[in-house]
Amino acid sequence: MSDYRRAFVPGGCWFFTVNLLDRRKALLTDQIESLRDAVAATRQSHPFAIDAFVVLPDHLHAIWKLPSGDADFSVRWRLINSRFAKALPVTERLSAVRFSRNERGIWQRRFWEHLIRDEADYARHVEYCYYNPVKHGHVSRVCDWPYSSFHRDVRAELLPEDWGGDTQFIGEFGERT
């Protein structure tokens, strides 16, 4: 068994990447309401603050702050993943191992987490979240991606609506045209 080393800091702030098992599917955006419901139910039973959240078709990124004295982000992801899976019909093919463990074939088993170290690290990871749909070619402007807490931050006047610019005006050599 692998020795996974996770930083458990009560009240800490983390950046996460969580992937679908089948990265060719658009399950997360196709079933966005089920994902939103799973997150909301988990936040009620196990509170946490969402500083940034972006959902792409096959993966998501999030920045969370946990309550003081609480470092258990893993249980929160387990609850979100299982609640989301339970809301969907069983249509995926299961490996023998997943079948024997009574697991669904929706999520990759592991997620990636990074403990946010300081304000600069925090800002870089928020920017990474918000720019990710542009990076993956889903939109040319950050404000055009509907599945992002970017819009909440614009309404709160934390960021301008045109933050990140427009990639359709970037030329062959990276210059703005």
Q: Three-state SS for 119? A: helix
Distance (Å) of CA 28 to CA 4, 48, 51 = 26, 21, 19
Burial class (CB in 10 A: 0-12, 13-18, 19+), 29: middle
Helices (H) and strands (E) in the chain, counts: 6, 4
Annotated catalytic residue within 4, 122, 128, 147: 147
Radius of gyration (C-alpha) of the chain in whole angstroms: 17
Catalytic, 147? Answer: yes
Q: Residue 141 forms beta bridges with which residues?
A: 166
Residues 6+ apart with CB under 8 A from 29: 55, 56, 57, 147
Q: Could you give the count of Cα atoms lying within 13 Å of 11 in the half-sphere of its Cβ? A: 2
Burial class (CB in 10 A: 0-12, 13-18, 19+), 116: buried
Residues belonging to the active site: 147
